[in-house]
């Protein structure tokens, strides 16, 4: 993802957010443009663009600088990331075996077990978590930004495998964004449908990411609900032209999965959609416009 503000003057320090280098994991996708402060130039220099990643070698090398700096727009992304963390914590819930004799010589043959939440309880809580990620836009109605979806799903799912990311960067760095957007969008919709198994979501994300990087076509024959979901998510993504992903797209479709989604969206519309506040964004206005133009050009091309 391109970002034009390559350098910032040192006077911008008071507007930038800091992150310790040591807290960043290798191959984690960055939430926004990442800067380093170079003392020699007395300037902040862009080292990573949004959704790019650091390798472990890079992080070791940059550890001397101690901090990475992010523009203030990243503050609006943080709640999205936190929502992702919450969703992940829900999906990670497993049964707890409570053995009161732990540590003693005598083991309890029939220990108490605290079961994980049932599928519908999880589905309910997940919908309550993802619902506020939908924003009401003045022109597009209720929609969600693919960038925010990617940030959210990146927190929900495991990090993409290192070797796959490196290979993707070598293959086509421009295509990575599209692959990330599409795979995240499929996972995001799967969460709406009550898919609450983290392993399945991880596999699904990786599968779509690889298919997009390898320029494979979506499945020709639809054999199950998952195939149908992938098909309709691709259609909606193409329809959006990598801009806002609109909710009303699904009301125009006549397939089973769209009906299911539509009925779930009805609940979001009624009680969960984030309509009071302006949507989160990572780009400043000029950057966003430029980015949109660039992406449109790329899609048209």
Partner 1 sequence: MVNFGRHKIRSLDTFGVSGLLSEQAQVFYSALFYPKQIGKVSDLLAARLKKSGVNEVKLRSILLLAVFHAYQSQSKQKRGFWPFSRSEPNESDPLDQPIILECGIDSEKLAIGVCFNLSKNITLDLESISDRVSKKEPKDSFEEMLVEIQNHTDRLVLKSEASSRRIELVGLLGIEGKIDLMSSQHREPMEVVLIEHTNGQAVSKPRVYIELGDLDHLQLLRETLGKNHISPSGAGEFLAPVESFSSTQEIPVGKSAITRQEADEEFKKAMASETGALQKNNEAKGEVHQKTPISTFQSYLSQLFKKIHILKSKNSANNSDEKLAGGSSQGFGAGNVQGSNLQPEEQVDFQALIQAGEMGNPNMAVRKLLAELRVGKLQRRLLGIDSELLSIRKEIANPHAIAWIEGILNAVTQERKHVHDLTVKLERNINLKEFENKKKLTDLQEELKVKESSLLLKSNALTQAKDQVTQLNVQMGRLKAANSSSEDDVNYKEKYNLANKLLDSAKEEKIQFQQKFEQFKVLNRQLLDKFKQLKEEKNLLKVENEKLKAEVVTTIPLEKMGNGAGGGSGNSSGSSQAA
Site string for partner 1, 179-218 (x = CB under 8 A): --------------xxxxx-xx--x---------------
Q: Which is nearer to partner 1, 26 or 219 (CB)?
A: 219
Report 235-254 residues binding partner 1 (CB under 8 A).
Answer: 254
**Near partner 1 by CB under 8 A: residue from 60, 63, 117, 286:** 117
> In this structure, what token pair is assigned to residue 17?
């957010």
For the chain, helix (H) and strand (E) counts, in that order, are 10, 10
The reply on whether position 161 binds partner 1 by CB under 8 A is no
- Between helices 119-130 and 173-192, what is the axis angle to 10°? 130
Across 122-155, b (16+ Cβ under 10 Å) vs e yields bbebbbbbbbbbbbbbeebebbbbbbbbbbbbbb
Nearest to 75 by CA among 182, 151, 185, 172: 151
**Near partner 1 by CB under 8 A: residue from 109, 138, 220, 252:** 220
> In this structure, what token pair is assigned to residue 165?
């990311």
101 strand-pairing partners: none
The beta-strand segments (E) located in the chain are 7-9, 17-20, 34-38, 43-48, 67-70, 96-98, 112-114, 135-137, 141-144, 245-246
**Near partner 1 by CB under 8 A: residue from 20, 41, 56, 96:** 96
Report 45-84 residues binding partner 1 (CB under 8 A).
Answer: 72, 75-76, 78-79, 82-83
Measured from the CB of residue 14, what is the shortest distance to partner 1 in angstroms? 11
Q: Which is nearer to partner 1, 71 or 165 (CB)?
A: 71
Measured from the CB of residue 137, what is the shortest distance to partner 1 in angstroms? 15
246 strand-pairing partners: 143
> In this structure, what token pair is assigned to residue 274?
């984030």
The reply on whether position 228 binds partner 1 by CB under 8 A is yes
Pairing between β-strand 43-48 and β-strand 112-114 as defined by DSSP bridges? unpaired
Measured from the CB of residue 166, what is the shortest distance to partner 1 in angstroms? 26
**Are the C-beta atoms of 243 and 185 separated by less than 8 Å?**
no
Stretch that binds partner 1, among 143-151, 156-164, 220-228, 287-295 (CB under 8 A): 220-228
Which residues are near partner 1 by CB under 8 A? 72, 75-76, 78-79, 82-83, 86, 94-96, 98, 100, 112, 114-129, 132, 193-197, 199-200, 203, 220-226, 228, 231, 254-256, 259-260, 263-264, 267, 274, 277-278, 280
């Amino acid at each position: 993802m391109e970002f034009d503000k390559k350098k910032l003057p040192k006077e911008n320090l008071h507007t930038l957010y800091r992150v310790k280098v040591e807290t960043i994991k290798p191959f984690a996708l960055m939430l926004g443009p990442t800067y380093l402060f170079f003392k020699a130039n007395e300037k902040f220099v862009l080292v990573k663009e949004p959704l790019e990643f650091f390798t472990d070698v890079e992080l070791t090398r940059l550890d001397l600088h101690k901090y990475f700096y992010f523009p203030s727009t990243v503050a609006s992304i943080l709640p999205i990331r936190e929502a992702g963390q919450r969703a992940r914590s829900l999906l990670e819930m497993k049964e707890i075996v409570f053995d009161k004799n732990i540590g003693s010589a005598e083991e309890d043959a029939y220990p108490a077990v605290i079961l994980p939440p049932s599928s519908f309880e999880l589905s309910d809580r997940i919908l309550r978590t993802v619902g506020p990620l939908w924003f009401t836009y003045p022109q597009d109605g209720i929609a969600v930004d693919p960038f925010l979806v990617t940030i959210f799903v990146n927190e929900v799912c495991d990090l993409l495998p290192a070797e796959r990311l490196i290979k993707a960067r070598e293959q086509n760095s421009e295509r990575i964004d599209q692959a990330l957007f599409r795979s995240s969008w499929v996972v995001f919709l799967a969460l709406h449908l009550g898919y609450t198994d983290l392993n399945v979501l991880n596999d699904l994300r990786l599968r779509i990411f690889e298919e997009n990087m390898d320029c494979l076509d979506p499945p020709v024959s639809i054999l199950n609900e998952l195939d149908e979901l992938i098909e309709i998510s691709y259609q909606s993504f193409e329809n959006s032209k990598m801009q806002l992903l609109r909710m009303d797209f699904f009301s125009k479709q006549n397939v089973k999965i769209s009906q299911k989604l539509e009925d779930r969206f009805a609940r979001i519309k009624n009680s969960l959609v984030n309509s009071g506040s302006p949507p989160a964004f990572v780009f400043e206005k000029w950057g966003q416009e430029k980015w949109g133009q660039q992406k449109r050009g790329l899609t048209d091309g």
